[in-house]
Amino acid sequence: MAKHDLGIDLGTATFIVYKKNEGILINEPSVVAVDKLTNTITAFGNEAKAMVGKTPYGVEIVHPMQDGVIAYPSLIEQLLRFFIKQAKTGFLPSKPNLVIGIPARTTDVERRAVKDAAEKVGANKAFLVLEPIIAAIGIGLDITKPNGHLIVDLGGGTTDIAVISLSGSVISESIKLAGEAMDIEIIKYIKRKYKFLIGEATAEFLKKEIGKAHKDMETLEIEVRGQDIASGMPSSRLINSDDIFEAIEGVLNEIIQKTKTVLEHTPPELSADILKNGIYLAGGTANLRGLAQLFEERTGVKTVVAENPQLCVAQGAWILLDNPELLSKIAVI
């Protein structure tokens, strides 16, 4: 492994690039602006996100990863090229190795396409690792032992639930419900209850600032701007944590239900391990206040939110770059 190797989290909501010995280089929304005529990326991350609703004719804002799959395979090569350029590894004599965390739902064809793209843009070797497994490594769990761990990775587009033992996923589920689905429910709830329109960025802001996943958490309130439906005029309104809780309760219930299904189908020996080890929550949505309490109450299993849950995949890549033996064992392609 060379010292300029890169770890890449190709997330639905966030792209994170980690460079060995330097740390996190990129941590930006997984959004790009594309010139429709040439199919080339003209803006990336925060810059592209700021362009939503303001693009000139011929420019489109797209999310290359959607619902945990690669929605725009033709852009992956350009993205990887961009990451390598940002990491300034191009002029070095040896090519970088890439460890890429990819959603568990991706098909073999998509994985092959990512690997081919990585090799085309000048990677020495590309190793693809499924997100729940790389997240478990990032949390610091020893996944090589015959000891079951349950990881729930709540991202932007998908929630991956996996029981991991002996370096592999024994049983897993993936649902297209996570942070972005919560934002949509918040928009609908506020429209229904207050006859007030807010955009996706405001809904996400509300979720992060005052959102809660458990009714017993403190109720906070905050004023946001939007549009009053009756008058059609710009206006502002106070929204509180109970509103957000009621809005996202349905999404939370489905995630908990899927987790319980995974637990029900887990072989008894591994169930016993999980009861001892607890459930680990990773991904940006694991930051939601009261989420661990909700999991504990509804599953009866102690639940821990990983430290820096949004960075678990990048941290996993970091650990794997120093552990080539484990990396070659768990890489899917």
Ligand X SMILES: Nc1ncnc2c1ncn2[C@@H]1O[C@H](COP(=O)(O)OP(=O)(O)OP(=O)(O)O)[C@@H](O)[C@H]1O
Interaction site with ligand X (CB under 6 A)? 11-14, 30, 65, 68, 103, 155-158, 178-180, 204, 207-208, 211, 283-285, 287-288, 310
Q: Which is nearer to ligand X, 141 or 281 (CB)?
A: 281
- Min. distance of Cβ 291 from ligand X in angstroms? 8
* Residue 157 counted as an annotated binding residue: yes
Q: Which is nearer to ligand X, 70 or 321 (CB)?
A: 70
Q: Which is nearer to ligand X, 28 or 77 (CB)?
A: 28
* Residue 207 counted as an annotated binding residue: yes
Question: 32: which residues sit within 8 A by CB, 6+ positions away?
Answer: 41, 43, 44, 45, 48, 61, 62, 64, 75, 79
Helices (H), 92-148: 108-120, 131-139
In contact, 80 and 95? CB cutoff 8 Å: no
Measured distance CA(223)–CA(293) in Å, rounded: 27
Q: Could you tell me the sign of the dihedral formed by the alpha carbons of 283, 285, 289, 294, in that order?
A: negative
- Min. distance of Cβ 296 from ligand X in angstroms? 18
* Residue 303 counted as an annotated binding residue: no
Measured distance CA(131)–CA(313) in Å, rounded: 7
Which two tokens mark 329?
């064992």
Q: Which is nearer to ligand X, 87 or 177 (CB)?
A: 177
- Min. distance of Cβ 16 from ligand X in angstroms? 7
- Min. distance of Cβ 8 from ligand X in angstroms? 11
Annotated binding site for ATP: 156-158, 204-207
- The binding site consists of 156-158, 204-207
